[in-house]
Structure 1
């Protein structure tokens, strides 16, 4: 189990260095990335959350992580492998959120709910999605694999795989090769090209 945890940490650090052009080394990233630290603490709190008697300690641990990193991840949320939160500050991930493998989030992202009902009330983010700075994905919506959500977009409806969503409320269109380099900072707001 310890070997698997260590392998996961190494995998996270490598993914972070690959996605952060400011990273100078894996050691630097492991020591100073609040996004990585929040994810690592979340893995512990999420494991504790699975045991009913440990739910209070899991919430307390997640609050400590929020205080230290500026990233709030509910212990009930599910995160995939190689998730990277760049800068971290202000990220909020709700209890029933599901985040797939290889997801990139910038600071200020919210995966929030819009209902007081119990059950699934937070988004599902599929593999390979990029969520731009300040993006808000609200409710039990699904962001399809390989999609991008632009900076400050507010998504309240499903986004199909391989699309880009921008605006308030977000509209989406097929992802183009030019969008691939935008890394969540898509600026094209021409409403004529969105569905």
Structure 2
């Protein structure tokens, strides 16, 4: 990825944090103090390095250093979309084959983990405009469709269709109807609403 492209993504990450967190007062504050933003930025650099086989070990070392600093572990091979915002990101784990879409909101304690040891697609795919509640676990090569919300502490082991809300252990989903907002990131900021 070109340097200008990476910088543009990082500016978008700042704007996403400002838009999603009412406590964010300025770009300077977000850029200096938000560990979720730092983890995403470190990942963007590590992921660019990962694309070159000769840089995979340094990319992995960078991702582990970012984990040490932020408490957020993102494998450098994982794919993050644009404007991903991690709020209070401690204890987040994003596995190697995970794919995350654009405009995803993620709270603390989220795991996008694998259920197999094979060198295959073994981590989740998260659609666009998805909200992942605190402590949720999404395990295996499942897909969470666009515009869905996963409730706090839900354990997802099957696909979740677009425009759904998933809660419970194991997670059960229901389609959004007229009583649910279309954009969970804006209207369901508090994951407790999904429990």
Q: Please tell me the TM-score bracket, short chain as reference.
A: over 0.9
> How far did 1:39 drift?
0.6
Distance (Å, rounded) in 1 between the aligned partners of 2:133 and 2:80: 18
Instruction: Give 1:22 shift.
Output: 1.2
Two-structure CA RMSD over aligned residues (Å)? 1.4
Which aligned pairs between 1:41-120 and structure 2 lie closer than 5 A?
41-120=42-121
Say whether the 8 Å CA contact 1:132–1:183 is kept in structure 2: no
Asked if residue 10 in structure 1 is aligned to residue 18 in structure 2, the reply is no
User: TM-score scaled to structure 2, two decimals?
Assistant: 0.92
Residue 25 of structure 1: aligned partner: 26
The match for 1:37 is 38
Aligned pair partner of 1:182 in 162, 178, 188: 188
5+ long unaligned stretches in structure 1: 190-195
- Alignment correspondent of 1:140: 141
Contact 1:150 1:185 in 2 (8 A): yes
Is contact 2:151-2:194 (8 Å) kept? Answer: no
Residue 188 of structure 1, CA deviation = 5.8
Work out the CA distance in 2 between the residues paired with 1:162 and 1:100.
Answer: 15
TM-score by length of 1: 0.92
- Structure 2 unaligned blocks of 5 or more: none
CA distances 1:64-102 after superposition (whole Å, capped 9, x unpaired): 000000100000100000000001100000000000000
The number of aligned residues is 189
Which residue in 1 is equivalent to 2:153? 152
Query: How far apart are the structure 2 equivalents of 1:106 and 1:97?
Result: 17
